[in-house]
Structure 1
Amino acid sequence: MSDSGNKMFPQPYFNDNIIHYLNDINVLIKKLFHSFYTPYGLTFVQVPVLMALRRNGKMRVSDLGESLEIGSSNITPLCKRLEKSNLVTRTRSDEDQRVVFVEITDYALDILDKIEEDFNARMPDSVRLNNNESVAIENGLEQLHLYLVNLYNKTLDDRIRFN
């Protein structure tokens, strides 16, 4: 007896449906969250930086940029702007002055908490997810993430081998 649930079906790597849904999700996320962070003077690019710092704690600027796929020529000025707004602190390493660490401030943590509270307060009960739905979406996103990472790594390997 074969397990048809694990059977591999041929799939195009470039799937119109996946691209369509990812684009729509990206647009909807930007539209949905825009009204929550703009009252605090934050941009769509700054929020993930602050969330990464909240999640990871103090980080080297280069590691922060790498984790968010933001190049060094963009992450450095972004962190400087966040510092001017008292949202992060930047400090140089005692061991190597070329290394700069960035850390989220209590002020920024308070703002993120307020955004989250505002979001939860304004979310209608009719669209709230139950625990099973939430877990299913999170698991699906994790699977999609792993699929895309593997696909990227595979195509990168092919480009290196064949170019």
Structure 2
Amino acid sequence: MVKPIHLDEQLCFSIYKAQKQFNHFYAQALAPFKLTYPQYITLLSLYEHGTMSVKEVGQTLALDSGTLTPLMKRLEKDGWITRKRSAVDERRVDVSLTAKALSLRDEIYEHVGSCVSAIDLSHDEFEAVKTGVDNVDAKLTAAITQPTR
């Protein structure tokens, strides 16, 4: 007999529930800036790496162009980024932060950085959870990319 699958025993369900809670937290934390979570992580990537091509941003965030293009159009419309064709390769579109994005960086960091303290995780707990989730992600990626038997 096959063992029944109980929802509360599923790792995927635990991660799903936690992800929903993160979405609620970030919706509140980012509301003063009128940013969505995908827009926020796009800005984080640009804060970290500087000007990048649209393709590089997509690779960094694991987002496809169908998701990234409207997201970037909105960020540009709202004054967070500029997009411009590369002078070296006109097929390449470079994305840069605006003065607005740069001036609000520390305020965003401070406002959103409260997440870890809000959930009352010690540094060691934080590192253990992050390492565990990163490990699950790597194992899922490997499992998905393996040919079926």
Give 1:109 deviation, angstroms. 3.8
In the other structure, the counterpart of 1:150 is 142
* AA at the equivalent of 2:22: I
Between the two structures, name the one with larger relative contact order (CA 8 Å, sep ≥ 6): 2
In the other structure, the counterpart of 2:71 is 78
Greater shift, 31-40 or 16-25, is seen at 16-25
Q: Distance in 2 between matches of 1:32 and 1:49?
A: 18
Q: Distance in 2 between matches of 1:31 and 1:142?
A: 21
In the other structure, the counterpart of 1:105 is 98
- The unaligned stretches of length 5 or more in structure 1 are 1-15
Question: Normalising by the residue count of structure 1, what TM-score does the alignment of the two structures yield?
Answer: 0.73
Q: Distance in 1 between matches of 2:117 and 2:77?
A: 36
Q: Distance in 1 between matches of 2:113 and 2:67?
A: 32
Provide the aligned length of Structure 1 versus Structure 2.
141
Q: 2:111 aligns with which of 114, 118, 121?
A: 118
Q: Distance in 1 between matches of 2:67 and 2:117?
A: 37
Question: Normalising by the residue count of structure 2, what TM-score does the alignment of the two structures yield?
Answer: 0.79
- The unaligned stretches of length 5 or more in structure 2 are 1-8
Q: Call closer, same or farther: CA 1:139–1:111 in 2, change over 3 Å.
A: same
Query: Is 2:131 aligned against 1:139?
Result: yes
